[in-house]
Each structure stands twice: as C-alpha cells, then as structure tokens.
C-alpha cells in the first residue's frame, strides 16, 4: 500500500511538472484533451472530479477571440480544471442566415483553447447534443421577454436548452459568461434557478479592442469601413454616462439612439436602459441602484450588441 501511494504521488508530481513545463513552453495544446462525445466528456471530467478537483466551465460557440480567453483565464484562476465547449447551437438562432454565416474556425479554436490552458475541450456534433429534438419550453419569465427576448423570439429558450444540457453533461462548480451578453447572464441565472443546478454563474467584464469596439465573433464580418465606424457605438455609450442623473432616462435613451443613427451606416434596433437585476426598463434613475443601457446596432447585416453601466461613474 505504501509503494502504491508513493507511485500515485510520483505520478501526480510528474503530471504537475509536465503540465507546468508545457504551459511555460506554450505547448498547452499537447496536454488538452479534445472530446466529441458525451460519454468521453463524462468519463474525462468524472475522473478528475473523483480526485476532488473543482471544475470551471466556459461554454462558447467558437470563433474564439480574446474575450473568450479572458473567461478561460478567470476560470483557470478560480478552479483546478477548465472545460470549454465549442458548439454553434442551432436552437438559439431564430434567423437561418445568421446560423449559416456564423463563423466556424474549429482548428484555430482548438489551438487557442490549448494555448489558454484548457484541460478538456468538448466539440460535439449537432446529433450528439440533440439525439432527439429538444422540445422543452423554459418558464424564463420577464428577464427573457424584453430586448433580445422581444427581438429574437425563441432565442433565449434555445440558449436555456443548450446551456442546461451542457451543465448536466459537464457538472461544473462554476460557469463563466461575458457581460457583453448582459441579458443572457440574467436568463442563465433564471434557468439555473428553474433547473436547480448548484453552479456558480460568474459574470466577466466585456473585453474591447483598443478603440473600444466590444470583441465579438461577428466583428470579422464587418467591412473595413464598417469596422472603422463601429467603435462609435462604445464612444457614444461612454459619453452618455455624463448625462446620468443630469438628464432623464428617456432623454439619455433618445440621445444615444440619435447619435448612433446619425451615422448613415448604422441603425439602432433598440436601446433600453434597464434595471440590472431584472432587465426591466426603467423610467426614473431612482428606480434602481444599478442601471444598464443595452444596445443593438445593425451595420449592414451585421448585428452588434454592447452595453454600459450607469452606476459606476
Ligand atoms: O454566448 C454564447 O456564445 C452562447 O449563447 C452560449 C452561452 C455558448 C450558448 O450557446
């Protein structure tokens, strides 16, 4: 028994040293396990959980950028192991063209996940995720009825379907989501409550280009001219904070919409200032401590979203 304990400890130390050396040499992808089936995923995660390791999970739809990598870095800091998924979920696309044109860059994604120190990458097929059509309808309530929920019917139900499946498959302690999709985080928290998952939902700050444009997988579809104009969305939102408590909620709302629409290339789909806790539009600043302005803008056929917090001046 003593000998086997010695071997176990020696193996663990070798494993740790190799991992450290690979990471230092930026050869992390050599230690990352890529799995494509639920069975493989469950046995890989199960083995690590059996050793008592905590699991952080970063679900993605691929086309990875530094925003995703910041989620992975946070997950690595908080957990013993990190699982990331890459799956373009058809049930959350209410527009078939958006699904068809969504960028798919599997090879580059795997390299980035490996370099970022992900332990297990899950890349399932549609058949693997949905052997049967998912007909579940989640009672997501008011958080899912406004803004994205109103503009993209069925979108949040699709997000709830895929994220609840992924949570059940991975069984993480914590899951990481970017605040660019601010409303999505509220919807996922509601889904977690409905399904009774014991998972900590960690909201991470928006990552931006140097010129302020929020990182998004859709940015690659912008023409050079549209890309030049796009940072004005963030600039206008940022400037609108000067009017927090000075102008009324509706005046700030109108100011932002008019300023963005002043660019002939851009068209605001909605700009709503909501209570960060329940996503409901407010009329008075005094209605909540944390107000968030959420915007969706079309640049040609590229739909960009962004948001700004009005409480942290
Ligand atoms: O935010 C996304 O990329 C997706 O909505 C998510 C959470 C990975 C579910 O498909």
Give per-residue pLDDT as tens, 177-225.
Answer: 999 999 999 999 999 999 999 999 999 999 999 999 999 999 999 999 9
What was the pLDDT predicted at 311? 81
Q: How far is the CA of 12 from the centre of ligand 1 (A)?
A: 34
DSSP 212: S
The residues that are catalytic are 68
Task: Indicate which residue's Cα is closest to atom 9 of ligand 1.
Answer: 159
Q: How many residues does the chain have?
A: 313
So what's the pLDDT on residue 3?
Answer: 67
Full 3-state SS string of 77-125: HHCCEEEEEECCCHHHCCCHHHHHHCCCCHHHHHHHHHHCCCCEEECCC
What is the model's pTM? 0.90
CA 31 to chain centre: 24
Task: For 132-163, write each residue's pLDDT tens digit.
Answer: 999 999 999 999 999 999 999 999 999 999 99
Q: Around Cβ 274, how many Cβ atoms within 10 Å?
A: 25
Q: How many CA atoms lie within 13 A of 21 on its CB side?
A: 6
Low-confidence spans in the chain with pLDDT less than 70: 1-3, 11-12, 15-16, 18-30, 312-313
For residue 308, what pLDDT is reported?
98
| Ligand 1 pocket member 59 (CB < 6 A) | yes
User: Residue 22: in which H helix or E strand, if any?
Assistant: helix 2-24
Distance (Å, whole) CA 54 – CA 82: 9
pLDDT of residue 82: 98
**CA of 87 relative to ligand 1 center, distance in Å:** 8
φ/ψ bin of 147: left (φ > 0), alpha (ψ from -120 to 50), beta (otherwise): left
Q: What is the 3-state secondary structure (H, E, C) of 131-188?
A: CCCCCCCCCCHHHHCCCHHHHCCCHHHHHHHHHHHHHHHHCCCEEEEEHHHHHHHHHH
């Amino acid at each position: 028994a003593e000998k086997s304990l010695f071997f176990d400890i020696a193996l663990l130390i070798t494993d740790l040293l190799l991992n450290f050396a690979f990471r230092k040499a930026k050869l992390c992808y050599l230690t990352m396990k890529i799995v494509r089936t639920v069975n493989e995923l469950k046995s890989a995660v199960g083995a690590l959980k059996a050793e008592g390791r905590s699991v952080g999970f970063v679900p993605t739809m691929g086309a990875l950028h530094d925003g995703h990598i910041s989620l992975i870095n946070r997950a690595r800091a908080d957990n013993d192991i990190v699982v990331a998924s890459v799956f373009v979920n058809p049930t959350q696309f209410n527009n078939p063209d958006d699904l068809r044109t969504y960028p798919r860059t599997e090879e580059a994604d795997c390299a980035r996940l490996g370099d970022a120190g992900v332990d297990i990458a899950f890349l399932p097929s549609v058949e693997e995720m949905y052997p049967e059509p998912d007909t579940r309808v989640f009672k997501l309530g008011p958080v899912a009825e406004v803004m994205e929920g109103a503009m993209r019917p069925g979108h949040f139900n699709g997000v709830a379907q895929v994220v609840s499946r992924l949570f059940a498959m991975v069984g993480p302690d914590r899951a990481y989501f970017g605040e660019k999709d601010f409303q999505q985080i509220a919807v996922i928290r509601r889904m977690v409550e409905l399904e009774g998952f014991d998972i900590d939902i960690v909201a991470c700050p928006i990552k931006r280009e140097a010129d302020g444009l929020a990182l998004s997988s859709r940015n690659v579809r912008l023409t050079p001219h549209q890309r030049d104009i796009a940072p004005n969305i963030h600039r206008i939102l940022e400037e609108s904070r000067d009017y927090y408590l000075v102008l009324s909620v509706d005046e700030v709302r109108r100011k932002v919409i008019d300023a963005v629409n002043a660019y002939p290339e851009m068209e605001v789909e909605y700009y709503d200032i909501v209570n960060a806790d329940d996503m409901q539009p407010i009329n008075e600043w005094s209605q909540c401590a944390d107000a968030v302005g959420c915007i969706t803008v079309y640049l040609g056929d590229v739909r960009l979203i962004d948001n700004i917090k009005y409480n942290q001046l």
